[in-house]
Structure 1
Amino acid sequence: MDAHEVLSKYYEYANKGDWDSWCDLFTEDQVMDEQLAGHIEGLATLRSMMAGMDKMYRVFQNQPVRFLVDGEHAAAVSHLTAESISGKAIRAEVMNYFRIVDGKIAYMANYHDTVPFQVLSQV
């Protein structure tokens, strides 16, 4: 897959809640700097983390707005709308940076306002 296809699949699988296929987009030795979860290394760790998504969100949609690709470097701007398991609404504008090597995500970092996600820690 080229970078545009990888990015398209990244959002397609996330919006379907198909976290196994989403994880398949990453290299075995992937590194992620996730603004809420922190620094994540290795695909096994990522898979374990993503297995809990249905316990955090009733609804999770991350709609891409724009992709920018330059060789193995890519960025995506997206609009996230979600609902926590307790029913609280979450809205955020997101910027993701990707390094895509041989059709897989080797590195990813995301940037967004963390305030809307505070509802996840509320009972």
Structure 2
Amino acid sequence: MGAGDVMSAREVLTRYYRYANSGRWDRWCELFADTMVMDEQLAGRIEGRDKLRSMMTGMGELYASFENNPLHVVVDGDQAAVVSRITARSASGKPIEAAVMNYFRIENGLITYMANYHDTLPFQVLSQS
């Protein structure tokens, strides 16, 4: 993409999952607007890309492996919903499997709002590691 080009909502989502699955959390954070808001089931409300970036710095240490694979993607203008499946291992090797539902608002090629819904039980192994 050239300078000034704006990614489509579908391209933003493609990169969102590609960057997450390759552990490129800095690039992942760049997909969010400076004034983004995220309602995350485990972390609560996150406001601002700088706060998100600081939270994501430890992501590599939490997981020995991490994959979030989209199963169903619906894009409607500047809104999208993705049903996905997380398959991961905690740093100590404990398995994590969770069904996920994410809602996105994307404006000018950046995520401005995201809500994340999933079963929290599988993630309890992170606090037990």
Q: Choose the corresponding residue for 1:91, options 90, 97, 101.
A: 97
**Per the alignment, in what secondary structure is the counterpart of residue 89 of structure 2?**
strand
Give the TM-score taking structure 1 as reference length.
Answer: 0.98
Q: Which amino acid aligns with 1:76?
A: V
Aligned pairs for 1:2-17 (under 5 A) are 2-17=8-23
Across the aligned residues of Structure 1 and Structure 2, the Cα RMSD in angstroms comes to: 0.6
Unaligned runs of 5+ in 2: 1-6
Give the TM-score taking structure 2 as reference length.
Answer: 0.94
Aligned pairs for 1:108-119 (under 5 A) are 108-119=114-125
Name which one, 1 or 2, has greater alpha-carbon Rg.
2
Distance in 1 separating the partners of 2:83 and 2:15: 15
Q: Which consecutive aligned stretches of 4+ in structure 1 deviate over 3 angstroms post-superposition?
A: none
Q: Choose the corresponding residue for 1:76, options 74, 78, 82.
A: 82
Determine if the alignment matches structure 1 residue 61 to structure 2 residue 71. Answer: no
Determine if the alignment matches structure 1 residue 50 to structure 2 residue 56. Answer: yes
Unaligned runs of 5+ in 1: none
Distance in 1 separating the partners of 2:61 and 2:19: 17
What fraction of aligned residue pairs are identical, expressed as a percent?
63
Aligned residues between the structures = 123
Q: Deviations over 1:86-120 (max 9, x none)?
A: 11100001000000001100000111100000101
